[in-house]
Structure 1
Amino acid sequence: EGPERAKREAGFFEVILHGAAGEGQNGGQIQVRVTGDRDPGYGGTAKMIAEAAVCLALDPLDESGGVMTPAVAMGEALIARLTKNAGLTFEVMD
Protein backbone atom coordinates (compact mmCIF):
# COMPACT_ATOMS: atom_id res chain seq x y z
CA GLU A 1 0.00 0.00 0.00
CA GLY A 2 1.30 3.45 0.89
CA PRO A 3 0.95 6.73 -0.96
CA GLU A 4 0.30 6.91 -4.68
CA ARG A 5 3.33 7.20 -6.97
CA ALA A 6 2.71 10.91 -7.73
CA LYS A 7 2.60 11.74 -4.01
CA ARG A 8 5.78 9.75 -3.32
CA GLU A 9 7.64 11.49 -6.13
CA ALA A 10 6.44 14.94 -4.99
CA GLY A 11 7.55 14.28 -1.42
CA PHE A 12 10.52 15.90 0.26
CA PHE A 13 11.96 16.44 3.71
CA GLU A 14 13.92 18.98 5.71
CA VAL A 15 15.40 18.38 9.15
CA ILE A 16 17.61 20.59 11.29
CA LEU A 17 20.06 18.71 13.51
CA HIS A 18 21.41 20.34 16.66
CA GLY A 19 24.67 19.07 18.14
CA ALA A 20 26.59 20.04 21.25
CA ALA A 21 30.04 19.09 22.50
CA GLY A 22 32.06 20.00 25.56
CA GLU A 23 34.26 22.62 23.94
CA GLY A 24 35.42 23.79 20.55
CA GLN A 25 34.53 26.07 17.70
CA ASN A 26 31.15 27.87 18.09
CA GLY A 27 31.18 27.07 21.80
CA GLY A 28 30.75 23.39 21.02
CA GLN A 29 27.43 23.94 19.20
CA ILE A 30 26.47 23.15 15.60
CA GLN A 31 23.31 23.12 13.52
CA VAL A 32 23.05 21.29 10.20
CA ARG A 33 20.11 21.40 7.80
CA VAL A 34 19.58 18.21 5.79
CA THR A 35 17.10 18.18 2.91
CA GLY A 36 15.99 15.47 0.51
CA ASP A 37 14.12 15.55 -2.78
CA ARG A 38 11.97 12.46 -2.18
CA ASP A 39 9.54 11.20 0.43
CA PRO A 40 11.81 9.95 3.24
CA GLY A 41 9.67 6.89 3.94
CA TYR A 42 9.91 5.55 0.41
CA GLY A 43 12.23 6.97 -2.27
CA GLY A 44 14.62 8.84 0.02
CA THR A 45 15.35 5.90 2.30
CA ALA A 46 15.93 3.52 -0.62
CA LYS A 47 18.42 5.92 -2.22
CA MET A 48 20.24 6.48 1.09
CA ILE A 49 20.57 2.73 1.74
CA ALA A 50 21.80 2.08 -1.80
CA GLU A 51 24.44 4.83 -1.60
CA ALA A 52 25.60 3.58 1.82
CA ALA A 53 26.02 0.07 0.35
CA VAL A 54 28.03 1.39 -2.61
CA CYS A 55 30.15 3.48 -0.23
CA LEU A 56 30.89 0.44 1.96
CA ALA A 57 31.79 -1.65 -1.08
CA LEU A 58 33.95 0.84 -2.99
CA ASP A 59 35.29 3.57 -0.70
CA PRO A 60 38.05 3.05 1.88
CA LEU A 61 36.91 3.55 5.48
CA ASP A 62 38.66 6.15 7.63
CA GLU A 63 37.86 4.42 10.91
CA SER A 64 38.18 0.83 12.08
CA GLY A 65 36.92 -1.34 14.90
CA GLY A 66 33.69 -1.97 16.72
CA VAL A 67 30.13 -1.14 15.76
CA MET A 68 29.83 2.27 14.10
CA THR A 69 27.05 4.46 12.81
CA PRO A 70 27.09 5.16 9.06
CA ALA A 71 28.31 8.72 9.74
CA VAL A 72 31.29 7.51 11.77
CA ALA A 73 32.16 4.61 9.46
CA MET A 74 31.80 6.38 6.10
CA GLY A 75 31.90 10.10 6.99
CA GLU A 76 32.63 12.54 4.18
CA ALA A 77 32.59 9.79 1.52
CA LEU A 78 28.95 9.01 2.32
CA ILE A 79 27.98 12.69 2.42
CA ALA A 80 29.56 13.17 -1.02
CA ARG A 81 27.64 10.19 -2.44
CA LEU A 82 24.33 11.28 -0.90
CA THR A 83 24.77 14.80 -2.25
CA LYS A 84 25.78 13.67 -5.74
CA ASN A 85 23.47 10.68 -6.26
CA ALA A 86 20.62 10.66 -3.75
CA GLY A 87 19.20 14.20 -3.85
CA LEU A 88 20.30 15.21 -0.36
CA THR A 89 21.84 18.50 0.73
CA PHE A 90 23.81 19.21 3.90
CA GLU A 91 24.19 22.81 5.09
CA VAL A 92 26.04 23.91 8.23
CA MET A 93 24.02 26.74 9.74
CA ASP A 94 25.21 29.49 12.08
Structure 2
Amino acid sequence: MNVWLVPFPMAPINTKNVHRTNFLLGHPYGTNFVYDEMMVAPGFGEIARVTTETFATVVSLFGTGGLKPGAGPTREEREKGFYDILFLGELPDGGRVEAVVTGDRDPGYGSTSKMIAESALCLLRDVQGEGGTWTPGALMGPALRKRLKQRAGLTFSAR
Protein backbone atom coordinates (compact mmCIF):
# COMPACT_ATOMS: atom_id res chain seq x y z
CA MET A 1 0.00 0.00 0.00
CA ASN A 2 1.29 3.42 -0.88
CA VAL A 3 -0.49 5.64 1.67
CA TRP A 4 0.28 8.10 4.45
CA LEU A 5 -0.53 6.99 7.98
CA VAL A 6 -1.33 8.97 11.13
CA PRO A 7 -1.80 7.79 14.73
CA PHE A 8 -5.21 6.35 15.58
CA PRO A 9 -6.53 7.82 18.86
CA MET A 10 -7.95 4.54 20.18
CA ALA A 11 -4.78 2.52 19.47
CA PRO A 12 -3.41 2.77 23.03
CA ILE A 13 -6.58 1.07 24.31
CA ASN A 14 -7.29 -1.28 21.40
CA THR A 15 -3.78 -2.72 21.22
CA LYS A 16 -3.88 -3.69 24.91
CA ASN A 17 -7.28 -5.32 24.39
CA VAL A 18 -6.03 -7.34 21.40
CA HIS A 19 -2.88 -8.52 23.19
CA ARG A 20 -4.85 -9.47 26.33
CA THR A 21 -7.31 -11.43 24.20
CA ASN A 22 -4.43 -13.31 22.55
CA PHE A 23 -3.13 -14.15 26.04
CA LEU A 24 -6.52 -15.24 27.43
CA LEU A 25 -7.13 -17.53 24.46
CA GLY A 26 -3.77 -19.27 24.95
CA HIS A 27 -1.78 -17.32 22.33
CA PRO A 28 -3.52 -18.54 19.14
CA TYR A 29 -1.58 -15.84 17.27
CA GLY A 30 1.68 -16.83 18.96
CA THR A 31 3.69 -15.40 21.82
CA ASN A 32 5.56 -13.04 19.49
CA PHE A 33 2.33 -11.57 18.08
CA VAL A 34 2.59 -7.86 17.22
CA TYR A 35 -0.47 -5.63 16.77
CA ASP A 36 -0.69 -1.90 16.07
CA GLU A 37 -3.21 0.54 14.59
CA MET A 38 -2.94 3.57 12.35
CA MET A 39 -5.32 5.66 10.22
CA VAL A 40 -4.89 6.37 6.54
CA ALA A 41 -4.50 10.10 5.87
CA PRO A 42 -6.26 11.44 2.76
CA GLY A 43 -2.89 12.63 1.43
CA PHE A 44 0.41 14.15 2.47
CA GLY A 45 -1.08 17.65 2.60
CA GLU A 46 -3.80 16.43 4.96
CA ILE A 47 -1.52 14.84 7.57
CA ALA A 48 -1.26 17.98 9.73
CA ARG A 49 -5.03 18.61 9.59
CA VAL A 50 -5.98 15.01 10.40
CA THR A 51 -3.43 14.79 13.22
CA THR A 52 -4.62 18.11 14.70
CA GLU A 53 -8.29 17.10 14.50
CA THR A 54 -7.53 13.72 16.06
CA PHE A 55 -5.59 15.34 18.90
CA ALA A 56 -8.40 17.87 19.46
CA THR A 57 -10.95 15.04 19.62
CA VAL A 58 -8.92 13.13 22.19
CA VAL A 59 -8.49 16.27 24.32
CA SER A 60 -12.21 17.04 24.13
CA LEU A 61 -13.10 13.49 25.17
CA PHE A 62 -10.62 12.98 27.97
CA GLY A 63 -9.24 16.38 28.88
CA THR A 64 -12.48 18.22 29.59
CA GLY A 65 -14.68 15.47 31.00
CA GLY A 66 -16.15 14.36 27.69
CA LEU A 67 -18.35 15.85 25.04
CA LYS A 68 -21.26 18.00 26.11
CA PRO A 69 -24.82 16.92 25.24
CA GLY A 70 -25.64 17.75 21.63
CA ALA A 71 -21.98 18.02 20.59
CA GLY A 72 -21.97 14.84 18.51
CA PRO A 73 -23.13 14.22 14.97
CA THR A 74 -26.72 14.87 13.91
CA ARG A 75 -29.17 12.01 13.52
CA GLU A 76 -28.75 12.20 9.74
CA GLU A 77 -24.95 12.07 10.06
CA ARG A 78 -25.18 9.07 12.39
CA GLU A 79 -27.50 7.19 10.04
CA LYS A 80 -25.59 8.02 6.85
CA GLY A 81 -22.18 7.38 8.41
CA PHE A 82 -20.24 4.20 7.76
CA TYR A 83 -16.80 2.72 8.14
CA ASP A 84 -14.56 0.24 6.39
CA ILE A 85 -11.63 -1.13 8.40
CA LEU A 86 -8.82 -3.08 6.73
CA PHE A 87 -6.60 -5.30 8.86
CA LEU A 88 -3.32 -6.38 7.29
CA GLY A 89 -1.51 -9.36 8.76
CA GLU A 90 1.92 -10.74 8.09
CA LEU A 91 2.44 -14.38 9.01
CA PRO A 92 5.69 -15.83 10.39
CA ASP A 93 6.36 -17.54 7.05
CA GLY A 94 6.06 -14.21 5.21
CA GLY A 95 2.52 -14.85 3.97
CA ARG A 96 -0.09 -12.13 4.23
CA VAL A 97 -3.72 -12.08 5.23
CA GLU A 98 -6.33 -9.33 5.00
CA ALA A 99 -9.53 -8.95 6.98
CA VAL A 100 -12.23 -6.34 6.52
CA VAL A 101 -14.83 -5.08 8.98
CA THR A 102 -17.54 -2.70 7.80
CA GLY A 103 -20.32 -0.91 9.65
CA ASP A 104 -23.46 0.77 8.32
CA ARG A 105 -23.63 3.71 10.77
CA ASP A 106 -21.40 6.44 12.17
CA PRO A 107 -18.64 4.54 14.01
CA GLY A 108 -18.59 6.77 17.09
CA TYR A 109 -22.29 6.92 17.81
CA GLY A 110 -24.62 4.93 15.57
CA SER A 111 -22.58 1.74 15.41
CA THR A 112 -21.03 1.83 18.88
CA SER A 113 -24.42 2.05 20.58
CA LYS A 114 -25.59 -1.05 18.70
CA MET A 115 -22.38 -2.90 19.59
CA ILE A 116 -22.83 -2.07 23.28
CA ALA A 117 -26.45 -3.26 23.26
CA GLU A 118 -25.58 -6.51 21.46
CA SER A 119 -22.64 -7.11 23.82
CA ALA A 120 -24.98 -6.77 26.81
CA LEU A 121 -27.48 -9.20 25.26
CA CYS A 122 -24.67 -11.60 24.40
CA LEU A 123 -23.46 -11.56 28.01
CA LEU A 124 -26.99 -12.16 29.23
CA ARG A 125 -28.08 -14.84 26.76
CA ASP A 126 -25.11 -16.45 25.06
CA VAL A 127 -22.16 -16.61 27.46
CA GLN A 128 -21.74 -19.38 29.98
CA GLY A 129 -18.88 -20.19 32.28
CA GLU A 130 -16.97 -18.73 35.14
CA GLY A 131 -16.41 -15.07 35.90
CA GLY A 132 -13.18 -13.16 35.83
CA THR A 133 -11.58 -10.32 33.96
CA TRP A 134 -12.13 -10.96 30.27
CA THR A 135 -11.92 -9.02 27.04
CA PRO A 136 -14.97 -9.00 24.76
CA GLY A 137 -13.17 -11.10 22.13
CA ALA A 138 -12.00 -13.74 24.58
CA LEU A 139 -15.34 -14.08 26.36
CA MET A 140 -17.92 -13.55 23.62
CA GLY A 141 -15.93 -14.10 20.38
CA PRO A 142 -18.02 -16.03 17.82
CA ALA A 143 -21.33 -15.44 19.63
CA LEU A 144 -20.85 -11.67 19.60
CA ARG A 145 -19.63 -11.66 15.99
CA LYS A 146 -22.83 -13.50 14.98
CA ARG A 147 -24.99 -10.97 16.84
CA LEU A 148 -23.15 -8.00 15.33
CA LYS A 149 -23.63 -9.41 11.83
CA GLN A 150 -27.32 -10.18 12.36
CA ARG A 151 -28.42 -7.14 14.36
CA ALA A 152 -25.85 -4.34 14.35
CA GLY A 153 -25.05 -3.78 10.67
CA LEU A 154 -21.48 -5.11 10.73
CA THR A 155 -19.81 -7.38 8.21
CA PHE A 156 -16.66 -9.45 8.68
CA SER A 157 -14.66 -10.95 5.84
CA ALA A 158 -11.20 -12.28 5.06
CA ARG A 159 -9.42 -12.15 1.76
TM range (shorter): 0.7 to 0.9
One of 50, 53, 58 as aligned partner of 2:120: 53
Q: Is the 8 A contact 2:127 2:139 kept in 1?
A: no
Distance in 2 (CA, whole Å) between partners of 1:68 and 1:16 is 25
- Structure 1 consecutive aligned stretches of length 4 or more whose deviation exceeds 3 Å: 19-23, 63-66
Unpaired runs of at least 5, structure 2: 1-70
Shift, 1:66, TM fit:
4.4
In the alignment, what sits opposite 2:15?
Answer: none
Counterpart contact for 1:36–1:87, Cα < 8 Å: yes
Residue 145 of structure 2 corresponds to residue 75 of structure 1: no
2:126·2:143 contact (CA, 8 Å) conserved in 1?
yes
Aligned residues: 89
What TM-score results when the alignment is normalised by the length of structure 2?
0.49
Greater relative contact order structure (CA < 8 Å, 6+ sep): 1
Larger Rg: 2
State whether structure 2 residue 72 is matched by structure 1 residue 2: yes
Match of 1:84 in 2: 150
Higher strand share: 1
Q: 1 CA distance for matches of 2:98 and 2:131?
A: 28
Q: Which runs of 5+ in 1 are unaligned?
A: none
> Which residue in 2 is equivalent to 1:43?
110
What TM-score results when the alignment is normalised by the length of structure 1? 0.80
Matched position secondary structure for 2:85: strand
Aligned to 1:16: 86
Q: Is the 8 A contact 2:79 2:110 kept in 1?
A: yes
3-state SS in 2 of match to 1:35:
strand
Give distance in 2, aligned partners of 1:21 and 1:67: 29
Task: Provide the rounded CA distance (Å) in 1 between the counterparts of 2:78 and 2:144.
Answer: 24
